[in-house]
Structure 1
C-alpha cells in the first residue's frame, strides 16, 4: 500500500511538471469518455433499465398482428382472457385518450387513461391520498370516479387533502376525485397521464361484438415461460373467433412491453454508442502516441532509475499509475461534460424513443464511467509503459547517446496509431455523408402532392352534441363554403382521415375487379379507404391523371363513384384505362371515375398498399374531420378567420389541432435529420482528434529530425524540399488510413441501410467526396508542422545539437 501511494505521489509530481502534456491528454480523454458516458446514459435509460414494476420481466403486452401492423386486442377479448386462462396471472387493460377537463381554473384538453379496476394493483402502486378503483366501478353508472396524478393534484386541485371528494368535469361528465397518485408514479405504457378513469365494460355493440380496442398487459403465472405463453396464443385467438364469428381473423401475439416499445427505436441509440466507441478508440490512439513520445523523452530518467536498482516491474507499475491518474482525471472531466451536455443531446433525439425522458446520470452511469476510465488508462498506458520499462541503461548512459531517440520500431507504432485514427474517423465521416445524401434525396422526393402553402386543421366538435352524422354534416357543410369564400383561400376540402397521407385511411377493404375470375378471400388485394369532399384534391395539390375528381353530385347519386390512386391503377389495370371499371368491396360495388397520383409521406416511402377515395356521403360524417386549405401565401394567417367562422356556427367549445402540411412533413423528417446531425457531430469530433494525431506525429518527427534536416539544408537542400518531404510523410499515412477506412466503411455502413433512402451504403460518390475532404484536411494538418520545420535555420540547429 505504501508503495502504491508513493507511485501516486510521484506520478502527480511528474504530471504537474508537464502541465501542457497533462492538460492535452485530459482534454482528449474527456472528449472520448464524455461522449461514451452521455450515450450510455441514453442507452441505459431506453434499453437497459428495467420497468419500474415488480416482476417486470414477467409482464407482457398482448397485440393482434395483421398485415396492417400490430393493434391492441378488443376489450371483449380482454374479458375472455381475464375469466380463464392457463398462462396469465393478473391482467389489466388500458385505453389512452384525450379528454376535455373542466371545473378547474385552467380548463384544457389533456392526456388521460381509462383503466380496468386491477390496474393499480397490477403495477403494485398505492395512492398518496384516498383510494384506487373498485371492481364494481367498471359498470356503467358507477364509473364517475377519478384518480389524479400528483402534478394535477398540486397545480389544479390545491395540493391538499381537501382534493378528495372534489368534482372534476371530464368530457361534460362530472367525476369525483377518489385518489391521488405519488409523484414518481409512471403509467405502464410510458406516456405522461393527467388522470385515470375506470374502463367501462358495457354491453357489446352488435356491429362490433368484441368492442373497442384496449392495451392489454398480463403477468405470467409462476413457472410459465414466455415461449409457453406464446404457444397458447393460437388457442386464445380461436376463443376470440368463437365469440365473434363475423369478425376478423385474430393473430394474437405477446411481447415484453419494453421490447415492444423499442421495435424500430434501437437503431439511433446503438448507432450513437458505436460512434462514441470509435471516438474513444481514436482518443486512446492519440493519447497512446503522446505517451510513447513522453516515454522516449524520459528514457534517460528511466535509465537512471534502473541503474539505481528499480526493476522493470517497478517502472512498469509507475508508468501505468500515471496513465490511470490521467484517465481518472479525464473521466471526471468527461462526467462533468456529460452533466452539462446531456440535456441538449436528449433534446436532439426524436421524441418517439420510449423512456428517453428518464435519461440521467445515476449509479450505473457512474459505474460505467469509472470502468471505462480504468479500461482507457490501461489501454493507452500499457504499451508505452512496457516500452519505457524496457529502456536499456547502458545504451542511454554511454557517452555520445545523449539525445533520446524513438527508433524504427517506435516510428512504426506511431504511424500505425495515426493510420488507425484516420481510418476510424473516415468510417464515421462516410456514415454521416450517407445520411446527408439520404436526407437530400428525401427532400427532393416527389410525394404525389404539393405541400407548400397548405393548412391542415383537425376539427373536433363536442361529442355529446354531434353524436348524429346528420348534425355533423350540417355543421361542416355550413362551414366549408364560408372557408372557401375567405380572402387568400384558393381551395378547401375535408378529409375523414389524417390528410390521406401515406398509410392514413379511416378503414381498409378487400377488393376485387369486376369481370375477372374470383379469387379466394384471403388472396384478395387490400386497399386503404380515404373519405374526402369535393375540393380535397385541389387543396392538397394531388394531380389528376385520368378522368375527374368528385363533384357535389357524387355526394347524392345512387351510383357509388370512387377515385383510385396510380398505384392501384397500375397494379390492377396496367395500361388499360380504368375509368368506368367496377371495383367490388365485400358488401358494395363502386365505379372508378378518376385516377390521381399516389400520395406518400416520409414515414411510408415504400407504397405497399393502394388507396381508394370515397365521397363524403351522409353516412360518413363524424364529429372529427380534417380541413385542408390552400392559400396564396402563408396559410397560418387564415387560422383566426377560419376559427371565427366556426365559432359563429357553434358557440360551444371546438377543439382544433392546427399545422401546415410542410410542418407535418418536417416533423416526419425530424428523426432522420436528428440521425444525420448527431452522427455528423460525432464524425466531426473524430476528425478533429485524428487531425490532432497527424499534426502531433509530424510535429514530433520534425523535432526528432531537426539535426538531419539542418544537415540536408546545409548541404544545399531547399526549404521547399524539406516541406515537401514532411507533407509527403503525412499524406502517405493519411492515404493508408483512407484505404483502411474505406474497407471498414464498406463492411460497417451496411448497418445504416435501414436509415438510408435513395443511396446505397457503398455509394461511390459519397466514398470519394468524403475521402477527398479527409485528405484535404490531413494535408493542412501536415503542412503546418512541415512549414515550421522548413523555417529552421540550419546553423542554429546544428549549433544547438
Structure 2
C-alpha cells in the first residue's frame, strides 16, 4: 500500500512538473506572439503593397563613367514606366529593409562647422519620383525635380530624424550641409520627409539624407515599381526593358516589398513557431499526465467512493472531490511554472519588441488556460467516479 501511495505521489509530482513546463513554454511562446504582432503593426513610413523592387549593378570598369551610368538608369527607367501594368516607377540606391546602406560620420552644418553627428548618417541616392512611388510623406519643402541635375544647385532632402538632430526646433528648409569629406560641396536642404524603417522593423528610424541620383550618380541602383496587379508578374518584363538598353546587363533580386518585409521578420516568426510547437507538445503531455493521474487516483479510491455514497454522500460531492484534487495538482504545476517562466523570460527579453518580459496579461492568460485544461482533464475521471455503483465499489479491492 505504501509503495502504491508513493507511486501515486510521484505521478502527481511528475504531472505537476509537466504542467509547469507547459506554462514556461506557453508563456515564452505567448510573449513571442505578442511581440511579433506588435512588430507587424509598426508604422513603416511607406506603403509596401503592390511594389516590385529589382537591383541593377553596373560594371566598374574604365569604359564606364558616372554620366554613362546615369544615362543608362534614366533610359531604363523610362522604358519601365511605359510597361503595361506599371502605375509608377522610380530609382533608389537602397530600398527599405534591403541591403546595407551607405553612411557617413563626416557631416558639417554651414555656420556650425564644428558639429559632429552622434551616429552614422545614412545617404541614399534617389530619382525625383521616389517619395511619391513609395508613398513617403513630404512634411516640409519640396521633393526633387527634373531640374536637380549635375551642374545645378546641389540639393538634399532629409528625414524627420535628421532634421531634428541637426536643427532642433529651427526650420531645416534653406539650411546648407556638407558630407563625405572636408572638401565636399555645400548642399541646400529643400525638403523634409517622414521617417521610414530602413534597417529593421524593430529599430528606430535612422537619420537619413536623400540625394538626387543625377547629381550624385551611383553604379548600383534599384528600380521600385508600383503595379496594378501582382508585382512579380512584371519581373520578366522589367528584365527585358533593362536589357533592351544594355543586353549584357543582368537584373538581380527582383522581389516584392511584401516579401522583403516577410524575410526581415522570418527569424522571429521561426522562433515563435518553434517555441509554440514545443509548448503545444508540452501542453498535450500535461493533459495526458493530469488525466492519467486522476484516472489512476479515482480507480484506487473506488472503495472510498462507494463507502461515501453508501453513507449518504451526494454524487456531486464525489465529482467535486475529484475535481478539487485535479485543481490542487494544476495549482502546484502553475506555481512551479510561474517561477520557471520568470527565469526564462530574462533570456527572451532581448527578442521581444514593445512587450515586457513579465507581461502580466500573458502570464495570467496562460495560467488560466492551464487551470482550465487541467480541470477539463480531471472532469472525465470525476464523472466516472460519481457514477460508481456503491455495491460494486464496496467489493472493490
Q: Does 1:744 align with 2:362?
A: no
The answer to whether the aligner puts 1:582 opposite 2:176 as a matched pair is yes
1:638 aligns to 2:234 (yes or no): yes
**Runs (5+) with no aligned partner, structure 2:** none
Contact map agreement 1:501 1:599 (CA 8 A) in 2: no
Q: Which residue of 2 aligns with 1:281?
A: none
Q: Answer yes or no: is the 8 Å Cα contact 1:425–1:690 preserved in 2.
A: yes
Shift of residue 412, structure 1, vs aligned partner: 4.6
Higher relative contact order (CA 8 A, sep 6+): 2
- Which of these two proteins has the greater Rg computed from alpha carbons? 1
- Residues 800, 506 of structure 1: CA spacing in aligned structure 2 closer, same or farther, 3 A cutoff? closer
Q: Could you tell me which residue of structure 2 aligns to residue 528 of structure 1?
A: 122
Match of 2:188 in 1: 591
Match of 1:431 in 2: 28
SS at the partner of 1:494?
strand
Tell me: CA distance 1:660–1:503, structure 2 relative to 1, closer, same or farther (3 Å). Answer: closer
- What are the superposed Cα offsets for residues 259-317 of structure 1, whole Å, 9 maximum, x if unpaired? xxxxxxxxxxxxxxxxxxxxxxxxxxxxxxxxxxxxx6xx8xxxxxxxxxxxxxxxxxx
| Deviation at residue 716 of structure 1 after TM alignment | 2.5
Equivalents in 1 of 2:225, 2:233: separation in Å?
12
- 1:540 paired with 2:137, answer no
Structure 1 residue aligned with 2:269: 673
CA distance in 2, matches of 1:797, 1:576: 88
Cα RMSD for the two superposed structures: 2.3
Partners of 2:39 and 2:202 within 8 A in 1: no
Contact 1:580 1:592 in 2 (8 A): yes
How far off is 1:569 after superposition? 1.6
Q: Distance in 2 between matches of 1:745 and 1:472?
A: 57
Given the superposition, is the C-alpha separation of residues 466 and 536 from structure 1 closer, same or farther in structure 2, using an over 3 Å criterion?
farther
Question: Aligned match of 1:573 in 167, 172, 176?
Answer: 167
- Which residues in structure 2 correspond to 1:267-282 (within 5 Å)? none
| Consecutive unaligned residues in structure 1, runs of 5 or more | 1-295, 300-387, 389-404
Counterpart check, 1:445 vs 2:42: yes
Render the CA deviation track for 1:170-220: whole Å, top value 9, x for unaligned.
xxxxxxxxxxxxxxxxxxxxxxxxxxxxxxxxxxxxxxxxxxxxxxxxxxx
Provide, for residues 707-753 of structure 1, a one-character-per-residue CA deviation record: whole Å limited to 9, x for no partner.
01111122222322211211111112212221221122123211101
Distance in 2, Cα, partners of 1:496 & 1:478: 16
Cα offset, 1:419, TM superposition: 2.3
Instruction: For 1:142-291, list aligned pairs within 5 A.
Output: none
Normalising by structure 2, what TM-score?
0.91
- Residue 161 (structure 2) pairs with residue 564 (structure 1): no
Residue 678 to residue 574, structure 1, CA distance change in 2 (3 Å): same
- 8 Å CA contact retained: 1:602, 1:669: no
Local SS of the residue matching 2:221: strand
How many residues were matched structurally?
A: 394
Name the CA distance, whole Å, in 2 between partners of 1:524 and 1:731: 57
TM superposition shift of 1:559: 1.7
Alignment of 1:439-518 (within 5 A): 439-461=36-58, 467-497=64-94, 499-501=95-97, 504-516=100-112, 518=114
Preserved CA contact (<8 Å) 1:511 1:526: no
TM-score of the aligned structures, taking structure 1 as reference length = 0.47
Write the deviation string for residues 501-545 of structure 1: whole angstroms up to 9, x where unpaired. 4783234242233233724x5x66531111111111122222212
